[in-house]
Amino acid sequence: MQNTFEALLGDFGTVDHETLPFPRLQDVVRTGYDEIIDPVYRSLGGVLTSAELNLRHWDLEFDGIAVELDEHLHFNRYRAITLAAGAYVKLPGFPLVAYRRYCAEFESDCLRAGGYGGKWSKPSCERQFGIGAAPKVLDGNGAPRWKQRAFYDFVKDLSPLVLGVKVVRVAIWDCVVENGTPCTVKDVLSRPTVAGADAIAKLIHARAVSN
């Protein structure tokens, strides 16, 4: 989906990679947001004395906006925990209501896509969040990799506050209108059209305006 997403946007604006900064631990500490991320880390079951950040570059940059495409693995109970953080009051452009709903509605999709192997847990995640439960068992300590992803997504969401970088998240479950017909971003990426690509580009620009 990522490759299709990038190809579609390339016809409606400038697509770049690795030109915009993303949060590093020193940025978070310098701006005082470590005091905000630490309680979120703890609420996810973080076991280290202080949270570690090993973030990657943005999925892509579109017309100077940092863009993340959130697929199945980004919507679950752990992401919902991060979305309860008070910091989102300072991020009016974030689609908070929709993202909370996706976490509730599509966790089963996340489980089908990420209930095994390294998508469920791996040593680096267990170091931060403890030993996980058996694959596909969300009781107990659940999925350390899911927790890490949710935490890193949360820290990246703070980029407008920490770095002054405009960030837009696009979920595969987001609704757009293609030739007058409502559909999801996932639908557009499954059967790409010019109208669908235009709708996604407009969604990004609309969310960036209030960022």
In this prediction, residues 124-135 reach a mean pLDDT of: 96
**With DSSP H G I counted as helix, E B as strand and the rest as coil, what are the percentages for the chain, rounded to 5?**
50, 10, 40
Task: State how many domains the chain has.
Answer: 1
| Range of the structural domain that residue 149 is part of | 2-209
Is residue 170 within 8 Å of 69, Cβ to Cβ?
A: yes
Residue 9's pLDDT band, with cuts at 50, 70 and 90, is very high
**Can you give the pLDDT at residue 47?**
97
Q: Across-strand partners of 68?
A: 169
Q: How far apart are CA 55 and CA 52, in angstroms?
A: 9
- The CA distance from 198 to 205, in Å, is 11
pLDDT in tens, 35-71: 999 999 999 999 999 898 999 999 999 999 999 999 9
Residue 193, φ and ψ in degrees, nearest 5 = -140, 165
pLDDT for 198 equals: 96
Phi–psi pair at 29, nearest 5 degrees: -65, -45
| Residue carrying structure tokens 């409606």 | 12
Nearest to 9 by CA among 156, 147, 202, 171: 202
Task: Collapse the DSSP code of 178 into the 3-class scheme (helix H, G, I; strand E, B; otherwise coil) and give the result.
Answer: strand
List, in sequence order, every residue forming a beta bridge with 65; answer none if it has no partner: 62
Q: Which residues neighbour 5 within 8 Å (Cβ) at sequence distance 6 or greater?
A: 59, 60, 69, 170, 189, 200
Model pLDDT for residues 178-204, shown as the tens digit of each residue: 999 999 999 999 999 999 999 999 999
**Residue 60, H or E segment:** strand 60-62
Strands 65-70 and 167-171: parallel
Global model pTM greater than 0.75:
yes
Per-residue pLDDT band at 209 (split at 50, 70, 90): confident
Q: State which H helix or E strand residue 147 sits in.
A: helix 144-157
Provide the strand spans (E) within 73-187. Answer: 167-171, 175-178, 181-184
